[in-house]
Amino acid sequence: MIRSEADIAEALDELLRLDPRLAAIAATAGPLPLRRLPAGLRGLLRTLMGQQVSIASADAIFARFASLVDLDDPHAILAAPEETFRAAGLSRAKQQTALAVAEAIRDGRLDLARVEAGPSPAGIAELVAVRGIGRWTAECHLLFAAGHRDVFPAGDLALQVAVSHALSLEGRISERALATMAALWSPVRSAAARLFWAHYRTVTRRSAVPGAVPAGSGGAEG
């Protein structure tokens, strides 16, 4: 698990041993931030807020939602009136997904503590079984909220752009091709994702890290 800056440094060292060509990228990317999200329902909802909007927009929507509803309580989310979701700024699709997640937890079909503690492939499969949760959301939740070491959201546009630029590829790499490439970085693919997000920030001067809020607070879906 990646729970500290020391864990990131250790994983990055292992990554650079696996693929020495990434050393030059690491040298210019700067320190890799931890970027942890809360575990459990609150963290999954924050990841959900990050679908297809900027980090600033996701933070704002999440903060409004958290001020209106107890985001640690699935019953409170299910009991919230339509006006609450509208006031927070959730789209209809995100509202339906938030309700589907809360319902799955309430009914015992989704145990986030078990999902977060278990192996990544099983956790991803269980999360995407919930209506509205795509692979990007599942992977980013395990990476940033649960601290999994071997997750790489290949469907993330910023990662595709960053890898293509850093490795001088012709055109933007596809999700499938990037997932195949990322297999070379196992079992520390999460460090690779952090490295390329950092490279994206260096090149564009814009952060695209889905977990860009601190764990104590209150991309695109693929």
Would 71 be classed as within a structural domain? yes
Would 219 be classed as within a structural domain? no
Asked whether residue 141 falls in the same domain as residue 154, the answer is no
Number of compact structural domains in the chain: 2
Question: How far apart are the C-alpha atoms of 202 and 49, rounded to whole Å?
Answer: 24
Q: How many CB atoms lie within 10 A of CB 146?
A: 25
Would 127 be classed as within a structural domain? yes
Asked whether residue 63 falls in the same domain as residue 19, the answer is no
Domain that holds residue 185: 5-34+150-204
Asked whether residue 130 falls in the same domain as residue 156, the answer is no
* Confidence (pLDDT) at 209: 67
pLDDT tens digits, 97-144? 999 999 999 999 999 999 999 999 999 999 999 999 999 999 999 999
Asked whether residue 156 falls in the same domain as residue 129, the answer is no
Rounded to two decimals, what is the model's pTM?
0.90
The CATH number of whichever domain residue 16 belongs to comes to: 1.10.1670.40
Count Cβ atoms within 10 A of the Cβ of residue 88 and give its class: 0-12 exposed, 13-18 middle, 19 or more buried: buried
Asked whether residue 138 falls in the same domain as residue 59, the answer is yes
Asked whether residue 108 falls in the same domain as residue 169, the answer is no
